[in-house]
Structure 1
Amino acid sequence: MGMLIDGRWQEDADRTMQNGAYRREASALPSRLGQEVLAALAQTPERFVLVASSSCPWSHGAMLAWQLKGFADRMPLQMAGGPRVEGYAILPRGPLSVDFRHIHQLYAATDKVYTGRATVPVLWDAHERIVLSNSSDDIMQAFDAAGTEPRLFPTELAEEMAAFLPRLFNGLSNAVYRAGKAQRQDEYEHATASVYATLHALEERLSNQTYLFGEAITAADLRLFATLVRYDTVYATHFRCTRYRLTDFPALWRFTRRIFQIPGIAQTVDFDEIRRGYYLNDGSHNPFGLVADQPEIDWLDRSGL
């Protein structure tokens, strides 16, 4: 997987696997999203660049907020992807592609002795030439504070969302990774049990309401959408969460289609890049580099919406 150690890229370094189990490492990069930055985001969003990958669900969460909060026409987007040689590559035709080739170079430019993974999303300050944050949650909250309606982190739901989002992460969004990368049967079974239990709980929750916290969309819905939109394409197949498909859950399927059909959201979903990003960058589980077919799913179906 590779990581930076003291500001230098080490291709074979990897601290995510521990005794056959996948453990996502917390970022060591501090967030620089203070009030001055939030004011600049609102007034001069063109100063910043959102760096994201189509395959990554945490990138997708930031892209969804960037789209819904009115930044898509005002803040440049730099895509990252392709073969993971030195981690994520900076793809051509973006605002950072002239000066940088790899995401890890953004981290090293910010901290010359940085040690850790070089992940996406990244919010880049083009004036100061530093990474302001690599936390999807922090970037989404910054976009929410500086952007237009809808309010994705409503104050009245702050306590409930603060309790819910870690459960969503542990029970589903990260659990699918634990299942897909497990090197022990017991770890795989523990992870998939968490995935299936969470799916059933979410199905019940959404059976009688439009969104997770009622009738208005929030950041929690975007987080869930970013996982569910990938479920049948890669998690139920490549990550071996095979017991169910998304379409086996009527309420979850309706919820995911509803968000997919919000104007601007479909443009943030690239199923080809999602499949390539997972299948072609997992040599230990897919040594021949085969990319599975995209399931036949009608994302524009309006039934029940």
Structure 2
Amino acid sequence: MHVSTDEDHTGGRYIEPGAGYTRDTRYITTRITADGRDGYPVVAGRYRLVAARACPWANRTLIVRRLLGLEDALSLGLCGPVHDERSWTFDLDPGGVDPVLGIERLQDAYFARQPGYPRGITVPAIVDVPTGQVVTNDYAQITLDFSTEWTAFHREGAPDLFPESLRTEIGEVADDVYRDVNNGVYRCGFAGSQEAYDAAFDRLFARLDLLEERLSTRRYLVGESITEADVRLFTTLVRFDPVYHGHFKCNRNPLTAFPALWAYARDLFQTPGFGDTVDFVQIKQHYYRVHTDINPTRIVPRGPDLSGWVSPHGRDALGGRPFGDGTPPPPPRPAERVPAGHTPL
């Protein structure tokens, strides 16, 4: 999720009249790897993951970090849900300063890596604590590297979220989901013309219809257990009714009108590592208060009713094992728990 003029730069221009929405995908692609080939080896305690619970792209890293048990190896800094035009900020911390990095704005870590960094100040980002510099904000690669490069620090019983035998299929499914769903909701919300909106709307719901069909006979998107593909779809589905349905005009149907997708989303939400990373209050605060071109009053709606997220889903009847040969993660650490009242769990 960017802080930039093309997405959610407060007071800026989100929507170019007459144009479709194009996401800036020029990320810092340096990788943290087991062999350190980019100059950043995997080392416990060296790096800090900076995320925001409001952001779907950052939410992926929170889920995968939890599932794999990387809490001891990779510390977590959380930005607040509402940023200004310059940067995500650490306003949830005492004094508005990240206690490890010693900065008020994530922008400072980007500028430490590249003075005057010209693109969006994005979460998630991984910061090298000794230098204070952002190593990478390439969110799609970050979670894959958690699964494949950080194995020395996986917890006992960590699931294999990116099994080698399924990687081609996971990639194909994830590409479709990204294009039409993850990014598709933004293409609806930030469309600059009726034509651009209509095209994005049609692609979004055509893909949701296909996913509904796929998930009507299988518990998970690929294989018999949770994979990276499920993580990537979940973070959009969990935001669909609270923000995308109304705020982004993705309103052919709410998620609750898709029997299989709604049950699938509830199944994941109730799985340790998923729903316990979701903060519905922050999600709504971010979208409705930051996107002032879409919602100039900054009024945050009180609905929808979230109690259905903890209702029975019945997906167990389809078989599958959520963690494969692994085990569920332990409960979230007290300092990382979603605040009471921000989730129905």
Structure ranking higher in strand proportion: 1
Do structure 1's residue 253 and structure 2's residue 262 form an aligned pair? yes
**Do the aligned partners of 2:166 and 2:223 also contact (CA within 8 Å) in 1?**
no
Q: Distance in 2 between matches of 1:226 and 1:170?
A: 14
Flag the 1:219–1:28 CA change in 2: closer, same or farther, 3 A: closer
In the other structure, the counterpart of 2:54 is: 55
Structure-1 separation of matches of 2:282 and 2:99: 20
Distance 2:165 2:241 in 1: 34
1:118 to 1:16, Cα distance in 2 relative to 1, 3 A: farther
Q: Residue 304 of structure 1 aligns with which residue?
A: 314
Q: 1:125 and 2:128 equivalent? A: yes
Cα distance in 1 for partners of 2:3, 2:219 equals: 41
Instruction: Report the Cα offset of residue 191 of structure 1.
Output: 0.7
1:35–1:56 distance in 2 versus 1, CA, 3 Å: same
Within the alignment, does 1:151 sit opposite 2:154 as a pair?
no
> Structure 1, unaligned stretches of length 5 or more?
5-9
The number of residues matched between the two structures is: 298
The correspondence for 1:262, drawn from 271, 294, 297, is 271
- Stretch moving more, 273-282 or 103-112: 103-112
Give, in whole Å, the separation in 1 of the partners of 2:24 and 2:298.
26
Q: Is the 8 A contact 1:78 1:91 kept in 2?
A: no
Unmatched segments (≥5 aa) in structure 2: 316-345
Distance 1:91 1:134 in 2: 20
Aligned alpha-carbon RMSD (Å) = 2.4
> 2:80 & 2:301 partners in 1: Cα distance?
18
Equivalents in 1 of 2:36, 2:91: separation in Å?
26
**Structure 2: distance between partners of 1:11 and 1:272:** 19
1:36, CA displacement in angstroms? 3.5
Q: For residue 79 of structure 2, give the secondary structure of its aligned residue in structure 1.
A: strand
CA drift of 1:28 comes to 4.2
Correspondence for 1:176 among 169, 172, 185: 185
**Offset from partner CA, 1:42-74 (integer Å, 9 cap, x none):** x51x22211111111100111111111102354
In the superposition, the TM-score normalised over structure 1's length comes to 0.89
Q: Which residue of 2 aligns with 1:195?
A: 204
- The 1:84/1:303 distance shift into structure 2, 3 A limit, reads closer
Q: Which residue of 1 aligns with 2:332?
A: none
Q: Quote the Cα distance in structure 2 between the aligned partners of 1:15 and 1:266.
A: 30
CA deviations over 1:82-124 (Å, ceiling 9, x no partner): 4321131123437457621222211111112432111110011
Task: State the distance in 2 between where 1:254 and 1:161 align.
Answer: 21
Q: 1:233 aligns with which of 242, 245, 250?
A: 242
Contact 1:276–1:291 at 8 Å: present in 2 too? yes
Amino acid at match of 2:61: A
Question: Could you tell me the TM-score, scaled by structure 2's length?
Answer: 0.80
SS in 2 for 1:169: helix
Residue equivalent to 2:90:
90
CA distance in 1, matches of 2:282, 2:185: 18
Q: Taking structure 1 as reference, are residues 97 and 284 closer, same or farther at Cα in structure 2, changes over 3 Å only?
A: farther
Between 1:27-36 and 1:58-67, the stretch displaced more is 27-36
- Cα shift at 1:215: 1.4
Higher mean C-alpha deviation, range 290-299 or range 267-276: 290-299
Alignment check: 8 A CA contact 2:60 2:235 kept: yes
- 1:29 aligned onto 2:38: no
Report the CA distance between 1:295 and its aligned residue: 1.1
Q: Give per-residue Cα distances to partners, 1:132-187, cap 9 Å, x unaligned.
A: 21011111012112143211111111222222222111111101001011121111
For residues 269 and 253 of structure 2, the distance between their equivalents in structure 1, rounded to whole angstroms, comes to: 20
Whether the 8 Å CA contact 1:2–1:12 is kept in 2: the answer is no
| Residue equivalent to 1:7 | none
Residue 32 of structure 1 and its aligned partner are, at CA, apart by 3.0
Change over 3 Å in CA distance of 1:29–1:209 after alignment to 2: same
1:101 corresponding residue in structure 2: 104
TM superposition shift of 1:75: 2.6
Deviation of the 1:222 alpha carbon: 0.3
* 2:185 counterpart SS class: helix
